[in-house]
Amino acid sequence: AQSVAQPEDQVNVAEGNPLTVKCTYSVSGNPYLFWYVQYPNRGLQFLLKYITGDNLVKGSYGFEAEFNKSQTSFHLKKPSALVSDSALYFCAVRDGQRRNTGFQKLVFGTGTRLLVSP
């Protein structure tokens, strides 16, 4: 079964500095990888995804993520953090290997809280 690990409960960064939020995954087949952001008392908002092709994926609000197959990682990055980026970030993976009943479900990590200080 697929799984996702987000090793950091919280990441602190000063505004203007680069940020990285880490994610590693485990799947049997090819991974479909996603990053979502959640603001307080709100649903999740899609940021970006990796399906195939270029290992560097660009998404919303200046975020990007790098797929590394050998390290089974999909870290979220941004060159210059903003205070408004402070939120809860979730990495998610779907195993591309189909079951008899269809595609496998999306599995989320436990989330990483990003705190950007002014």
Partner 1 sequence: EAEVAQSPRYKITEKSQAVAFWCDPISGHATLYWYRQILGQGPELLVQFQDESVVDDSQLPKDRFSAERLKGVDSTLKIQPAELGDSAMYLCASSPARAVAYNEQFFGPGTRLTVL
CB of residue 4 to partner 1, shortest distance in Å: 8
Buried b / exposed e over 55-88, threshold 16 CB at 10 Å, is eebebeeebbbbbeeeebbbbbebeebeeebbbb
Q: Site for partner 1 (CB under 8 A): how many residues? A: 27
Window 82-101: contact mask with partner 1 (x via CB under 8 A)? --------x-x-x-x-x--x
Taking the least distance from each CB to partner 1, the nearer of 17 and 55 is 55
47 phi, psi to nearest 5 deg: -110, -50
CA atoms within 13 A on the CB side of 9: 0
Taking the least distance from each CB to partner 1, the nearer of 7 and 79 is 7
Can you give the C-alpha Rg of the chain in angstroms? Answer: 14
Q: Which of 10, 28, 42, 55 binds partner 1 (CB under 8 A)?
A: 42
Q: What is the contact surface with partner 1 in residues (CB under 8 A)?
A: 4, 32, 34, 36, 41-46, 49, 51, 90, 92, 94, 96, 98, 101-106, 108-111
